[in-house]
A and B are shown apart, each in its own frame.
Chain A
Amino acid sequence: MNTLKGLCASKGIGIGTAYVYVKPFITIENNIITNDQKETEINIFNNAIKKSSDEINNLISISKLDDQKHVLTAHLEILNDIALIDETINKINNDNFPSDRAFKETVDSFIAMFENIDDEYLKARGEDLKDVYVRAICNIKNIPFTDSLDTLEKDTIIISKDLTPSDTIKMDVDNVCALVSELGSKTSHTSIIANNLGIAALVGANDVCKHVKTSDVVIVDGFNGNIIINPDDETLSSYIKKRDEYLQHLKDLEKVKDLPATTLCGETLSVCANAGSVDECVKAFEQNASGIGLFRTEFIYMHSNHFPTEEEQFEIYKDVAKSSNGKYVKIRTLDIGGDKELPYYEFDEEENPFLGLRGIRLCLKLKDIFKVQLRAILRASAFGTIQIMLPMVISVNEILDTKKLIDEVKFDLDKENISYDKNIKVGIMIETPASVLNADELAKNSDFFSIGTNDLTQYILAVDRGNSNIANLYDTFHSAVLKSIKIVIDSAKKNNISCGMCGEFAGNDEATKLLLGMGLKEFSVSSSKVSQVKHTIRTNKISDCANIFNEYL
Chain B
Amino acid sequence: MTEKTATINNPTGLHARPASQLVNFIKTFENKVLFIFNDKCVDAKSLLNILALGLKADTVLTVRVEGDNSDDVCTKVCEYIENIKE
Interface residues of A (CB under 8 A from B): 74, 77-78, 81-84, 86, 110, 113-114, 117-119, 121-122, 125, 129, 303-305, 343
Contacts and interface: CB of A to CB of B under 8 A. Distances in A.
B10 to A, nearest CB: 10
Given A83-B42, A343-B57, A77 B9 contact: no
8 interchain residue pairs of minimum CB distance: A83-B46, A117-B54, A113-B52, A82-B46, A83-B49, A81-B48, A82-B45, A81-B46
A304 B11 contact: yes
A464 to B, nearest CB: 27
A247 B59 CA distance: 50
Contact of A114 (B12, B43, B51): B51
Contact of B54 (A78, A110, A122, A304): A122
Contacts, number: 48
Given A78-B47, A81-B47, A83-B48, A305 B58 contact: yes
Contacts of A113: 52
B41 interface: no
A74 B52 contact: no
A74 B54 contact: no
Given A82-B43, A343-B57, A117 B52 contact: yes
B48 A74 contact: no
A428 to B, nearest CB: 31
B15 interface: yes
Contacts of B46: 81-84
B20 interface: yes
Interface of B: 9, 11-12, 15-16, 20, 23, 42-43, 45-49, 51-52, 54, 57-58
Contacts of B16: 74, 121, 125
Q: Give the interface centre of B9, B15, B16, B52 by most chain A CB atoms within 10 Å.
A: B52
Contact of A305 (B23, B52, B57): B57
Given A77-B47, A83-B49, A122-B51, 6 more contacts: A74-B16, A83-B42, A83-B46, A110-B52, A118-B54, A129-B48
B51 A74 contact: no
A267 to B, nearest CB: 45
Nearest to A343: B58
Q: Give the interface centre of A77, A78, A129 by most chain B CB atoms within 10 Å.
A: A77
A305 B57 CA distance: 9
A271 to B, nearest CB: 33
A53 to B, nearest CB: 15
B20 A74 contact: yes
A114 B43 CA distance: 17
A118 B56 CA distance: 11
Given A78-B47, A81-B46, A83-B42, A119 B11 contact: no
Contacts of A119: 54
A82 B47 CA distance: 8
Contacts of A117: 52, 54
A305 B11 CA distance: 7
A125 B46 CA distance: 14
A122 B15 CA distance: 8
B43 A83 contact: yes
A121 to B, nearest CB: 6
A78 B49 CA distance: 10
A398 B45 CA distance: 55
